[in-house]
Structure 1
Amino acid sequence: MTNWIGDTFTSDAGWSHLEALVDLGSRMAGSDGEREGLELTRDALADAGARNARIEAFEIQGWERGDSAIRLGDETLAEGMNACIALPRSPSGEATGEFVDLGYGVPEDFEADLDGAVVMASSDTPDSVDRFVHRNEKYCRAVEAGAAAFVFANHVEGTLPPTGSVGTADAPVGDIPAVGVSKETGSRLARRYEGDELTVAVDCETPDATSGNAVAELGPDTDEYLVVSSHVDAHDLAEGAMDNGAGTATIVEVARALAAREDELDRRVRFVAFGAEEVGLVGSSLYAEGVDPDRLAAVVNVDSNVFGRTLRLDHHGFDPLAAAGERVSDRFDHPVSLGADLVPHSDHWPFVERGIPGYMVSGETEGRGRGWGHTGADTLDKLESRNLREQAILLTELVVELADESVTTERRDRDEIAAALEREGKATGMKVTGDWPFQR
């Protein structure tokens, strides 16, 4: 029966949920908006036919934005949402030091004498480096080098300061003030103020806060199950349409389609819309700590998928997951991009690092970096409902494939995961940021 395909392609459940999420305003982790987003998602999963819909709450380190600026003496050089914004979990305070533009901010750039400096690094990574150097790695290297403050400059044009959290799981509020500036502001600072004494000022609050995970289930009540996930929270300066309203809307649409195919499922499917992803994978990490790895067959995590039309499945070297993706692509005669490298970001990772099979599901885009993501331009107008519906169809079929009891995926040994991260050049950055969980 293929009626479910037509029903999904003409459904507005996912797109309507996406519109509802972006219209909430801020969905920053721990905020009222995030809580409303979790409640909307819980209710949408229930309306789709999933059972036992609920929110599992947990406490987090909150962070609330105030003003931020870069100054030269009494002169303000950058201020306001189109020029300079605080990076979440920056501490509140001011720091003054010699301004040093590090360009890309690759690891060797931080070997200079940066003690007491205000350092700036780009959000981009050059093609000559064989891995993407994450924002938080650049921040942590600046802290290690003794910098007084950190400036993160966007490489995307359009007066779009980038956001993104700093700090570590053990110390969620960072050590030095940190701001994001637009490409235009960064270029002006580098051209005119190299070597001058600049001040970075951040005003913010760090209250205790509550986040949560929205959970619901479909299929038989089996011991073994799949997790289909997304994250509800988004950075507070934009709608969070692509990252990750799109992923959450997609799993709602998948739940609706699976409810019509429930008798085809040999394994239970648990939907989990995580909270507090953008501040360190908090919701998924807490959830992963409580799972029995032998009962969790696979994780299908959807994050930032609708902006790119072609569905990308990073399968982390789990061959049966790659094969399932190929079967779905062949069955629908529809392109699906497959990747075997490890992706140590987003909510699949707390599971994959434990050797549990998992996908990072996204939309394929060109180049490195986030594009409009993590800026004020992450808005609904960048997305198309057609893409959401097509991807929901493919992912529904993928979940049905994985729910078949004949499909088994061996766990990967944690030492093997660690060795792969080292081969791929990702271990170095994870050790710098405190995200290395392995004993080697």
Structure 2
Amino acid sequence: MELRQAGYAPHRQPIQGVPGVFNIEAMLEPANGDAPTLVIGAHYDGYGTTPGANDNGSGTAATLELARALSDLRGRSRFRLRFAFFANEEPPYFQTAHMGSLTYAKALAAGRESTLGMISLETIGFYSDAKGSQHYPFPLSALYPDTGNFIAFVGMTSSHPFIRATVAAFRRKAAFPSVGGSAPGFVQGIDWSDHWAFAQVGMPALMITDTAPFRYRYYHSEADTPDRLDYDRMARVVDGMERVVRAWARKGAL
């Protein structure tokens, strides 16, 4: 309903082998039909029976808001924007053939659509100013701050240029603490979202995240409820990304 109210014509993409489960996509057409594509997406499923306010209600809400806020670029953007809402990110489908984002990424690759990159909005709603509130898997603990008041831009090493360009653009547009980095997929947490699926088909991809279990004690628990979220800081992150995408859309490049 919200996507239609913003002028989109959303459609469903079925997940093969999982009846009744769909990805949902809304596309913003560019000024030129031959323009490349940027994908912005989030998974809308939650872990088991948990409320999923942060994981991943926060990312889903952010994707919806970006689609709404950027709808005025329809027919004016110098690249195509695909807003995607993925099913089956959580176990037991995580990193399997039935993961919604892998279905989506494979279809995009099969269509040979030129893709600038994919941005996964994953668990972006929790922040803390307390020292020692942020943790990391080894060896990242030696490199990054121990206060969980920032947003992180992360992905696998194959996407390093895309990550670097995105976090640099965010820092130009938003007065909000941020860190950025890439690491091999074997580093714990680096590939824990839908950006993993796009990396499998050779597309640059990153995750924007509050780092989930490395900061958020309620991750994958029944206590992942809306009252835990910091809506002001979450909104500032989304506003910053709107400014980034809008600037990119004007020039047709990162």
Q: TM-score, normalised by structure 1?
A: 0.45
How far does residue 257 in structure 1 lie from its aligned partner after superposition? Answer: 1.2
Distance 2:154 2:250 in 1: 21
Q: Which has the higher contact order (CA 8 A, sep 6+)?
A: 2
Match of 1:231 in 2: 43
Secondary structure class of the residue paired with 2:238: helix
Contact 2:155 2:191 in 1 (8 A): no
- SS of the residue aligned with 1:210? coil
Q: Displacement of 1:353 after TM fit?
A: 2.8
1:377 equivalent to 2:198? Answer: no
Preserved contact between residue 155 and residue 205 of structure 2 (Cα < 8 Å):
yes
Which residue in the other structure is 2:103 paired with? 286
Report if aligned partners of 1:324, 1:402 keep a CA contact under 8 Å in 2. Answer: no
Residues 211-254 of structure 1, C-alpha deviation per residue, up to 9 Å, x if partnerless?
A: 10011012416342111100011123221101101100001111
Matched residue type, 1:336 = S
Contact 2:153 / 2:167 at 8 angstroms: preserved in 1?
yes
1:275 to 1:236, Cα distance in 2 relative to 1, 3 A? same
1:361 aligns with 2:175: no
Which residue does 1:254 correspond to in 2?
A: 66
* Partner of residue 268, structure 1: 80
Aligned length, in residue pairs: 217
8 Å contact from structure 1 (residues 310, 364) kept in 2: no
AA in 2 matched with 1:335: P
The structure whose residues are more often strand, as a share, is 1
Runs of 5+ in structure 1 lacking a partner? 1-42, 62-208, 409-440
Alpha-carbon distance, 1:46 to partner? 2.1
Alignment equivalent of 1:215, drawn from 22, 25, 29: 25
Local SS of the residue matching 1:214: strand
User: Is the 1:311–1:362 contact (alpha carbons within 8 Å) kept by the matching residues of 2?
Assistant: yes
The root-mean-square deviation of aligned C-alpha atoms, in Å, is 2.4
Q: In the alignment, is residue 325 of structure 1 matched against residue 167 of structure 2?
A: yes
Q: Residue 351 of structure 1 corresponds to which residue in structure 2?
A: 198
Structure 2 CA distance, aligned partners of 1:401 and 1:228? Answer: 15
The correspondence for 2:244, drawn from 377, 395, 398, is 398
| Farther off after superposition, 236-245 or 288-297 | 288-297
Look up the match of 2:89: 277
Say whether 1:311 aligns with 2:151. yes
CA drift of 1:328 comes to: 2.4
Instruction: Quote the offset at 1:407 in angstroms.
Output: 2.4
Q: Which amino acid aligns with 1:48?
A: A
TM-score (norm 2): 0.76
Which of structures 1 and 2 has the bigger CA Rg? Answer: 1
* Aligned structure 1 segments of 4 or more residues deviating by more than 3 angstroms: 260-264, 367-370, 401-406
Structure 2 residue runs of 5 or longer lacking an equivalent are: 128-148, 185-189
Helix, strand or coil: the match of 1:45?
Answer: helix
CA distance in 2 between counterparts of 1:324 and 1:312 reads 11
